[in-house]
Amino acid sequence: MRIHYKEKIKLKHYTVVLFDLDGTIIDPKIGLINSVKFALDRMKIEYNQTDTFERFIGPPLDYSFQKFFSLSESQAQKAVDFYRIYYKKSGIEENHLYPGIKELFEDLVKQNILLYVATSKPTTFAIDILNHYNIANCFEEIVGANLDLTRTAKKEIIEYILTKYPNIDPNNCIMIGDRNYDIIGAHSSQMDSIGVLYGYGSREEMNKIKPTYIAETINDLRKILLLK
């Protein structure tokens, strides 16, 4: 049953927490939009300046290029390659951490809660980003997609973590993300989830997919995850 954090409930203590990256740890908007535009320009694909490129936040890139610009699979792969050229050079610098998230990680680590990143962004980029903000050492492992566009679905990423670390009990583990893909991945592994509303998912999206909790702010995450 979905429970809003403000309801009078006995919160469960989680010993392992999986975090999505884009829209949950960092706001990727500027770097992502500029990278998408760079790719489209290099592919000579027209787009409107009013296009809502935020829709690229969350799903795998190749899927988004195919869905939103009707590219073939091979064209989408080429667009992803161009995207990565810009992102590696400039896009990482155009992200920023959500205020308070670093302090949350530090407090969770102090309580011996194990943290992992589960992102559809390529692992190498995710590591670079978290190193850039000096928070990579908060995580047991940073797991993302492969550069060959395999293991991009959140379900696959979560399954990879649970397989590699068989001592993780899904009953004591929770997945946190801002889009339905994150919650679907958690559902597939029978683990609890938190849908956050400060990223790029909507309350309507979360109400439909039914995470265990809905958190409007990072302070709400603190109330759910940290022991008093």
Active-site amino acid positions: 20
123 - beta bridge partners? none
Q: What residue has token string 């683990």?
A: 191
Identify the burial level of 157 via C-beta atoms within 10 angstroms of its C-beta, where 0-12 means exposed, 13-18 middle and 19 or more buried.
Answer: buried
Q: Taking each helix axis from N to C terminus, what angle separates 123-132 and 73-89, rounded to the nearest 10 degrees? A: 20
Whether 113 and 17 have beta carbons less than 8 Å apart is answered as: yes
What does the block give as tokens for 59?
């799903």
Q: How many residues does the chain have?
A: 228
Contacts of 180 (CB under 8 A, 6+ apart): 201, 205, 206, 208, 209
Amino acid letter for position 13: H
Nearest to 12 by CA among 167, 189, 169, 171: 171
